[in-house]
Chains A and B, each alone.
Chain A
Amino acid sequence: MELVKLTIDKKTLEVERGTSILNAARKVGIEIPTLCYLNLDGLNIENKPGGCRICVVEVEGRRNLAPACATEVTQGMVVKTNSTRVLNARRTVMELILSDHPFDCLVCPKSGNCELQSLAHRLGIRDIPYQGEQSTYRKDTSPSIIRDVDKCILCRRCEMMCNEIQTVGALSAINRGFMAVIAPAFEMNLEKSPCTYCGQCVAVCPTGALTEVDHTRQVITALADPTKTVIVQTAPAVRAALGEEFGLEPGTLVTGKMVSALRELGFDYVFDTDFGADLTIMEEGTELLDRLTKYLGGDRNVRLPILTSCCPAWVNFFEHNFPELKDVPSTARSPQQMFGAIAKTYFANQLGIDRKNLVVVSIMPCLAKKYECQRTEFSTDGNPDVDFSLSTRELANFIKLANIDFGALPESDFDRPLGESTGAAVIFGTTGGVIEAAVRTAYELYTKKPLAKVDFEELRGLEGIRAANVDFDGLELRIGIAHGLGNARKLLEEVRDGKSQYHAIEIMACPGGCIGGGGQPLHHGDASILKARQKAIYMEDQNKTIRKSHENPYIIQLYKEFLGHPLSEKAHHLLHTHYFDKSTQIVIE
């Protein structure tokens, strides 16, 4: 490790060669403002196009100003981050950016949470001397994501996420100069593009250029309708992040408060997607064992590895990019959809009401879930199994809208029967969790022996691609895990080429899994927030009395009273799905 000595604002310091001026300055407590720069430390996600030019600093002996994010320190470098020249340049650049930005902050969905707005405040911008033409583009609404690119500042974060991390390639820069903007190819609508709705573009957008489609109003209308029974399900990752929106430390579990809040909002029953997750494990775990047994018995018609199918963005991804593999993933629906299907049949029957009068709302860390619940195969006679999906952010805003003091809420418990869940279901919220939950159940079903240790540490972590072997009493089950679609692509290419060594692979589209979902409170580039959420998820699992899906008494009851057994005909009808070839559906108008 070679050290480099330099001076920043008269402070002398030594840092490793290769360090950027920005990071070197941070070490001595100098926070140079940035805008386009993004670094999710530990997740291998970095955006530094050096495009916004907000972080420029003066380097002695250099002709022009240097971008602190992209300039590496050199021996004896003398840097000024706050000279008159720097301050004037930074202000002017900011004034220029604002001169091409709509002034509708008051009604912008990102108001109060906008990095551009915060920066304008921090730099003390009070007027825009450089007025002129503003670039305008067509607004584009898809089932999950709204593109309002008049507000795009060309930070390229979404492009980096979509292309480098997710390898989806739906968004990239088009046009030149003043008309340059981020858009799908040929400016087609996002809906016509290979977008998976993973929402990672929304998760990193510093402004209101990319936001989710807000369904809160529809939910309020349903809640106010006396003819409707409105029930809600909450995904596991929501409880580990919702508190952030109310000023709580990242990683604070707010399960009980969240349940109380939902009840106060007027939901008739507050249930848990975790119930659906336990059900998923029953179906998917059994499917895994079924395929594995057949395969080991010499049946080469079954395909291994089995791939998890609970992530809707991932489903979209392979439908667009690997349609030839569409019989490889598990046919099990996602927990959200399993929940919806059971709610609108089994639970509606229990209540004695028509499915049309039962409104199922889901609270998801995800934007692709909005699209998933609109897929036609998940509805009966035009009535969807899940009516509306709200993101964690939308729920937070809804709670604020209803004048609820979240911090002061008591803790309360989910309703029965669809609110009961196990620790296995909770960990669906993080990368590695689904497969760990499946292993807990599959092990006991296969070996007929109780697990000595429920925690499979070898499956946990934040590495993009992980692999572990689990001993099933003499049978080595080879497991692969990928999060982030770029990593998923690598494992899928192995599967396509017949080189995959795994029996089962878990895939989650978002870096970190659902804890880093596109509908979660914005992390603004702070990876420690994702780590804290992951820790909270495992904590919730630890706190649960029952930690294996097949031991959930209400799941046992459901099979007994309604479904029969996993993979039964009824289960197939309600809990399984099929996939489509979307590779040819890119239409250029």
Chain B
Amino acid sequence: MAKYRMHLLVCDGTTCHASQSESVKNALQDCLELNNLENEVKVVSTGCFGYCEKGPIVKVLPDNTLYVKVKPGDAEEIVKEHILNGQIVKRLLPTESVAQVYASEGKTPFFDKKQIRIALRNCGFIDPENIEEYIAHDGYQALCKCLTEYTPQQVIDIIKRSGLRGRGGGGFPTGLKWEITAKVKSDQKYVICNADEGDPGAFMDRSIMEGDPHSVIEAMAINGYCTGANKGLVYIRAEYPLAVKRLKVAIDQARAYGLLGKNIFNSGFDFDIELRYGAGAFVCGEETALIHSMEGKRGEPTFKPPFPSEHGYLGKPSNVNNVETYANVPVIINKGADWFASIGTEKSKGSKVFALAGKINNVGLIEVPMGTTLRDVIFKIGGGIKGGKEFKAVQTGGPSGGCLTSHHLDTPIDYDNLIAAGSMMGSGGMIVMDEDDCMVSIAKFYLGFTVDESCGKCSPCRIGNKRLYEILDKITKGEGTMEDLTKLRNLSEVIKDTSLCGLGQTSPNPVLSTLDNFWEEYVEHVVDKKCRAGSCKGLMKYIIDAEACTGCTACARACPVNAISGERKGPHFINQEICIKCGTCMEKCKFNAVLLQ
């Protein structure tokens, strides 16, 4: 292998890719060649760095300088100044303010020491389309160790001792799941990877598959060895083309290297992996629905037991884990169960990847040890609230999670604490809200999602969520009553209590948690007909300040429903009965006389 004095790592995850990172990479390559540096400096496409807010990202090694929001036109300056002259291009460094410039990755608060990289260990460091880079970072060492040094039960014991729990949301102990599947006798078993990441705003699994696909492949093979399965299936969303491509490339490479296929590491163990595509139904992330979808049936859940471990794909025992869970496995084998168990809290070990989104400065992907507080995540790594506004709530656990408030900021994040607080871990979506967010509208937004994504099989989820949505809609339009609030609570509790699968059992969480934590906002909507965040249009009214109005008639002429009357050069009035709240008058007024109340 050629030796290079420097590496330029260009993020090519979906987010940076969408911001032209490929052109950045090509421009850098061209500049290097122009300066005859191509044998000294190597440009590498990597998976996600997580710092999506500032993409496209270019990292210079070995000095760890991080350039953000790089454009193709910046390539020449980076090559000339940084590589040839040894001068950092300051204007491309991450900044918080003019005074705060971070010269290297380690000094950037986003990559604060609070972050730890286990599942994301290779994302942003290696070229995901080059198996040799993965192997150079201890790749497939764990598989080799398992096949040549351990019995399946010994591997299961390591995973059990590590305390790893399912990262897809349920938090079921992974080792135990493997053990159950291993114990069932069958002529055929399957290893299934749930890559049907469906939470709005979540992209943890996508980033792992784009940035480090081999870690998933390696872990699935290890799982196959433990459970006695020789066939692996990845159920992946067809909407993840880049992840699909990288997984395909990785599977082909692994086959070419003999790491998939017959007699892996001369151990007599055969294992291969195929992809299955999801068609974009959220409920297919539920494991029984996922299996039905893979079988070509309607993607809807069936009750458990029997669990997939006993009766799964095509009726055969199947071990279903999600992408992030698998990504943890090779490290656990390499570094040991005790190392992994030393990270995290008593019942939640290791780390968790979160997708930070919403009104937060550093939107992106982070990985923190279990037990990190929400405050550290939001204010240290996330850089606080956008525009210096006030933090109001954070939604964890995707559409099925709950909204937590400032009271919960010092709660250490783990499975059990989040449930106790009325939310859940989920797959790791974290959406931050500020004072401009109306909590009733937020609950309505999430219910809108579950109404769209319910499969319709059981009545409480099919009809109940629809009715919840309708009541919330009524409240945001200013037509709600106190009785509606009682109905909301009863309905939410019954839906949770009676729904068939995890979707319905958790879908009322946004309603219940906002009722618990933001009760006064609901009452304001219902009793005072007021939305403090100013986001419920139905509760707002446009009025004209008679003092400021010059009687220019611009608003009256523009009003599409003729709701504005008044004499020329005299103050105008808006008839609230007719007004449709389109806001045209406010746009047209040159004297700021139209106010929103």
| Contact between chains at A50 and B281 (CB < 8 Å) | no
* Chain A interface size range: 35 or more
| Contact between chains at B455 and A93 (CB < 8 Å) | no
Cα of A85 to Cα of B505 in the assembled complex, Å: 16
| Contact between chains at B456 and A130 (CB < 8 Å) | no
Residues of A contacting B451 with CB < 8 Å? 177-178
B500 is an interface residue with CB less than 8 A from chain A: yes
A142 is an interface residue with CB less than 8 A from chain B: no
A interface majority secondary structure: loop
Q: Which of A46-74 contact B (CB under 8 A)?
A: 49-53, 56, 64-65, 67, 70-72
Known contacts: A177-B455, A180-B457. The answer to whether A96 contacts B467 by CB under 8 A is yes
A172 is an interface residue with CB less than 8 A from chain B: yes
Residues of B contacting A114 with CB < 8 Å? none
Cross-chain contact of B497 among A64, A70, A71, A175 (Cβ < 8 A) = A64
Q: Which of B476-516 contact A (CB under 8 A)?
A: 487, 490-491, 494, 496-500, 505
Known contacts: A53-B500, A88-B490, A89-B497. The answer to whether A176 contacts B460 by CB under 8 A is no
Residues of A contacting B456 with CB < 8 Å? 154, 173, 175-180
Residues of A contacting B303 with CB < 8 Å? 50, 67, 70-71
| Contact between chains at A176 and B491 (CB < 8 Å) | no
| Contact between chains at A64 and B496 (CB < 8 Å) | yes
Residues of A contacting B459 with CB < 8 Å? 51-53, 93, 96-97, 153-154
Cα of A534 to Cα of B452 in the assembled complex, Å: 48
Residues of B contacting A172 with CB < 8 Å? 298
B374 is an interface residue with CB less than 8 A from chain A: no
B533 is an interface residue with CB less than 8 A from chain A: no
A100 is an interface residue with CB less than 8 A from chain B: yes
Known contacts: A93-B498, A177-B451. The answer to whether A133 contacts B457 by CB under 8 A is no
B98 to chain A, nearest CB (A): 50
B530 is an interface residue with CB less than 8 A from chain A: no
Residues of B contacting A177 with CB < 8 Å? 451-456, 462, 465-466
Cα of A178 to Cα of B298 in the assembled complex, Å: 16
A382 is an interface residue with CB less than 8 A from chain B: no
Q: Which of A110-149 contact B (CB under 8 A)?
A: 129-130, 132-133
| Contact between chains at B498 and A178 (CB < 8 Å) | no
Cα of A132 to Cα of B464 in the assembled complex, Å: 10
A90 to chain B, nearest CB (A): 8
Cross-chain contact of A51 among B454, B457, B465, B470 (Cβ < 8 A) = B457
Q: Which of B297-313 contact A (CB under 8 A)?
A: 298, 300, 302-303, 305
Cα of A329 to Cα of B456 in the assembled complex, Å: 42
A216 is an interface residue with CB less than 8 A from chain B: no
A321 is an interface residue with CB less than 8 A from chain B: no
| Contact between chains at A65 and B497 (CB < 8 Å) | yes
B463 is an interface residue with CB less than 8 A from chain A: yes
B458 is an interface residue with CB less than 8 A from chain A: yes
Known contacts: A51-B457, A51-B500, A177-B456. The answer to whether A92 contacts B466 by CB under 8 A is no
Residues of A contacting B490 with CB < 8 Å? 88, 92
Q: Which of A71-119 contact B (CB under 8 A)?
A: 71-72, 85, 88-89, 92-93, 96-97, 99-100
Cα of A92 to Cα of B452 in the assembled complex, Å: 22
Residue of A whose beta carbon sits closest to that of B469: A132
Residues of A contacting B458 with CB < 8 Å? 50-53
Among B303, B463, B500, B505, the one with the most A-chain Cβ atoms within 10 Å of its Cβ is: B463
Known contacts: A70-B303, A96-B460, A177-B454. The answer to whether A64 contacts B498 by CB under 8 A is yes
Q: Which of A178-209 contact B (CB under 8 A)?
A: 178-180
| Contact between chains at A178 and B497 (CB < 8 Å) | no
Cα of A52 to Cα of B451 in the assembled complex, Å: 17
Residues of B contacting A93 with CB < 8 Å? 459-460, 464, 494, 498
| Contact between chains at A50 and B462 (CB < 8 Å) | no
Cα of A338 to Cα of B500 in the assembled complex, Å: 51
Among A92, A99, A153, A154, the one with the most B-chain Cβ atoms within 10 Å of its Cβ is: A92
Residue of B whose beta carbon sits closest to that of A172: B298
Cα of A72 to Cα of B304 in the assembled complex, Å: 11
Cα of A176 to Cα of B281 in the assembled complex, Å: 9
Among A64, A89, A177, the one with the most B-chain Cβ atoms within 10 Å of its Cβ is: A177
Cα of A129 to Cα of B462 in the assembled complex, Å: 17
Residues of A contacting B505 with CB < 8 Å? 64
Residues of B contacting A99 with CB < 8 Å? 463, 467
Cα of A92 to Cα of B489 in the assembled complex, Å: 12
| Contact between chains at A53 and B499 (CB < 8 Å) | yes
| Contact between chains at A100 and B463 (CB < 8 Å) | yes
| Contact between chains at B454 and A176 (CB < 8 Å) | yes
Cα of A359 to Cα of B465 in the assembled complex, Å: 54
| Contact between chains at A154 and B462 (CB < 8 Å) | yes
Q: Which of B492-551 contact A (CB under 8 A)?
A: 494, 496-500, 505
Cross-chain contact of B460 among A53, A71, A88, A178 (Cβ < 8 A) = A53
| Contact between chains at A180 and B491 (CB < 8 Å) | no
Cα of A298 to Cα of B428 in the assembled complex, Å: 74
Residues of A contacting B457 with CB < 8 Å? 49, 51, 154, 173, 180
Residues of A contacting B454 with CB < 8 Å? 176-178
| Contact between chains at A97 and B463 (CB < 8 Å) | yes
Cross-chain contact of A53 among B465, B491, B498 (Cβ < 8 A) = B498
Residues of A contacting B470 with CB < 8 Å? 132-133
Residue of A whose beta carbon sits closest to that of B467: A130
Q: Which of A158-179 contact B (CB under 8 A)?
A: 172-173, 175-179
Residue of B whose beta carbon sits closest to that of A85: B497
A163 to chain B, nearest CB (A): 10
Residues of B contacting A71 with CB < 8 Å? 303
Residues of A contacting B491 with CB < 8 Å? 92, 130
> 6 A-B residue contacts at CB 8 Å?
A52-B459, A71-B303, A176-B455, A176-B456, A177-B451, A178-B451
Given A93-B459, A132-B467, output 15 extra A-B contacts at Cβ < 8 Å: A49-B302, A49-B457, A50-B303, A51-B458, A53-B498, A67-B500, A92-B464, A92-B491, A96-B467, A97-B459, A130-B463, A130-B491, A154-B456, A177-B453, A178-B456
Interfacial residues, chain A to chain B (CB-CB below 8 A)? 49-53, 56, 64-65, 67, 70-72, 85, 88-89, 92-93, 96-97, 99-100, 129-130, 132-133, 153-154, 172-173, 175-180
- Pairs of residues from A and B, 4 with the lowest C-beta to C-beta distance, nearest first: A180-B456, A177-B454, A96-B463, A92-B494
